[in-house]
Amino acid sequence: RRFGAVTPRHRLPGLPARAIGRRVSRPAPSAAGPPGSRPTVAKAAKEQYIQRMNLELSLALRLLLAAALGSAIGLERELRAKGAGLRTHFLVALGSALFMLVSQYGFLSALQILPKTGLPIDPRIDVSRMASQIVCGIGFIGAGTIVLHRRSIVGLTTAASIWVTAAIGCAAAGGLYLTSFLATILALAGLEIFVFIDRDIGSTKYDTRIVFDAISRQAAMQALESLEKAGAIMTAYSVAFKTSR
């Protein structure tokens, strides 16, 4: 035989003759399993980004809905020339919705990070706590619209509308879309339709100030009695006597 020739008995089992004397490299088994068994890091990051953007879009739509519903009530108050009008109700609804969204989704990152630190901290979140604080805080704004004007109280309806607007903003931020729409319609109906009902049943009150001169105290009392018989309700009156020098 010639030098370098390979006989069948010199072949390794499972390899052809031309592979003898050459270095054969086989791929090492992958620890991650076969390709396609689990998503790559880039794909997982992309999916997480898409979920984050969907959440941000949903929160933005909730803010817009709360602002629109609050503006609808504020427009009605603005048309009636009330102290708290379009801008006030818009800001109240927007602020209430933003507080609710922060309470619901603003601390998610902290809840995910704190357990990994190993610190003896028990992170907890109470969404209803923020809503209760909104109810307390909105009372200060409502109280500013209630004033005493000529022995009569005005601004109670506007204060109530601000209070309802804050509740509508919280409902819209909480994802209760149908409930917030229905509450807005009912609030507008109460502010507009009930005005005509009050006029029809004669419950509208008018504050009138009457000044008159009488020749004597007895004549002044007779005039007051005549007003009471006519259906007038006197909240207060004052009598001044003229003295001759």
- The arithmetic mean of pLDDT across residues 203-232, rounded, is 75
Question: What pLDDT, in 10s, does the model give residues 66-112?
Answer: 999 999 999 988 888 777 788 889 999 999 998 888 888 877 666 66
Q: pTM for the full model?
A: 0.58
Share of the chain above pLDDT 70, in %: 64
pLDDT at 237: 66
| Residue 84 burial by Cβ neighbours in a 10 Å radius (0-12, 13-18, 19+) | buried
Find the DSSP H helices in the chain: 41-79, 86-105, 108-117, 127-145, 156-173, 177-201, 217-229
What mean pLDDT value characterizes the chain? 75
